[in-house]
Amino acid sequence: MNHEIRVVAILRAKPGRAAELEPHLKACVVPSRAEPGCREYVLHVDQADPERFVFVERWIDQAAIEHHRKTEHYRIMGAAIGDLLSERQVLLLDEVPGQ
């Protein structure tokens, strides 16, 4: 089934590493937004916890997400941030119908 999917990716930097993590995350934003299946790709930082970054994304379908995960910019980011993270959680969300 093809339908829009929202992604919420929560990434926590290791203590004292947020400033080092942030540019790697930001480097993935513009090229991700240029992908044909991307409708939204926004990086946030938690006001209460500056070591927690949150991507809020909208993709046209699961195939677009799978393509995104294979892109060079995504793989470069993943390789660069592995040692900087203490925690990673990715939620794939479907909108509840009938709202």
Residue-level pLDDT at 97: 85
What is the spatial distance between Cα 97 and Cα 84, in angstroms, rounded to a whole number? 38
User: What is the mean predicted confidence (pLDDT) over 24-30?
Assistant: 98
Average pLDDT, the chain: 95
pLDDT band at 2 (very low <50, low <70, confident <90, very high): low
Domains belonging to the chain, first-starting first, are 5-93 (3.30.70.100)
Asked if pLDDT for residue 93 goes beyond 90, the answer is: yes
Residue 47 has a pLDDT of 98
For residues 83-97, average pLDDT? 95
CA distances from 4 to 10, 29, 38, 44 (A): 20, 19, 10, 21
**Mean pLDDT throughout 11-37?**
98
Task: Give the mean pLDDT of 61-68.
Answer: 96
